[in-house]
Amino acid sequence: MQEAELRQKLLPLGIADLRAFDVIGSTNDEALDWAATGAADASLVIADSQIRGRGRLGRHWVTNPGAALAFSLILQPTPQEIAHLALFSPLAGLGVSLALEKIGLSPQIKWPNDVLLNRKKVCGILAEAAWLGNNLQGVVIGIGINIAPAAVPPADQLLFPATCVEEALGSPTDRLEILSATIEAILHWRSLLSSKQFVHAWQERLAFRGEWVRVENTGGTAITGQVIGITSDGNLQLRTPSGEEAQVTVGDVHLRPAEEPNQEGGGD
Ligand code: BTN
């Protein structure tokens, strides 16, 4: 990736510093190391391809050269933001969605943060915190966006169906424009993180509203319900089959339509 071009485009948007790589293990690993050694707020790590890209729940994330966006934004949360750390990954989901809307697409956010186009996953987000004892050294928001068809893994390797921006658009696109628009939106909406507007903007794009879904947690238990919306804390509100309301907490769970297959891969 051309670091000079990236600097020219991204520093005016509020990126403090950046490291760009053609090939890297994982941009999140590099960003966590950088955060631990004093990265400034809004520093960015970006790579054209990753050989050890990581997804949620220990999954592998594939990033093929020239076909995707893979980047990690380091944020140094203010004391007020620390109270809302769980909202940083939906913030990224909203930022990516707004960037895709700018090029004429209609993304939806699968709670808490996967971005979908035509009900298929186009973007995954892995937010991680770097702690030294009780000291937060930074939050790393890793974002992977499938741009071209070569970014989308074979269907039999996927837990959730995947797509890419160009498939939805029906034409080639400039990934640096999507990168710039995403960063601009994240840095703008960051200042509104604890506001009603933020939850409203997230909820407006919420996938599967009114539909029956199954939310699983890492312990293997699951809850089935009809999606109602998102609470002011960022929890998912469901109506259970007995008609009661249930809330699912950010971070412990993930959402799938009831009839999905059971593997996940590199769009995830
Ligand atoms: C998921 O949906 O499981 C999250 C995928 C996150 C992938 C991105 S690509 C950039 C950053 N570096 C990584 O190793 N992972 C994240």
Lowest-pLDDT range of 97-101, 160-164, 247-251: 247-251
User: How confident is the model at residue 264, as a pLDDT?
Assistant: 37
User: For 103-136, how does the pLDDT look when each residue is reduced to its tens digit (9 = 90+)?
Assistant: 999 999 999 889 999 999 999 999 999 988 888 9
Ranking 81-85, 127-131, 143-147, 247-251 by mean pLDDT, the lowest is: 247-251
Rounded CA-CA distance 224/203 in Å is 19
Residues 6+ apart with CB under 8 A from 188: none
pTM given for the model: 0.93
pLDDT in tens, 229-253: 999 888 999 999 999 999 988 533 4
Measured in Å, residue 20 CA sits from the centre of ligand 1 at 16
pLDDT of residue 256: 54
Ligand 1 midpoint to CA 50 (Å)? 10
Average pLDDT, integer, range 43-69: 95
- Rounded to whole angstroms, the Cα distance separating 126 from 21 reads 19
User: Tens of pLDDT along 199-223?
Assistant: 999 999 999 999 988 888 767 778 8
> Taking a C-beta distance cutoff of 8 angstroms, is the pair 198, 192 a contact?
yes
Which tokens is 196 given?
């009603």
On average, the pLDDT of the chain sits at: 91
Q: For 147, left (φ over 0), alpha (ψ -120 to 50), or beta?
A: alpha
Atom 11, ligand 1: which residue's CA is nearest? 142
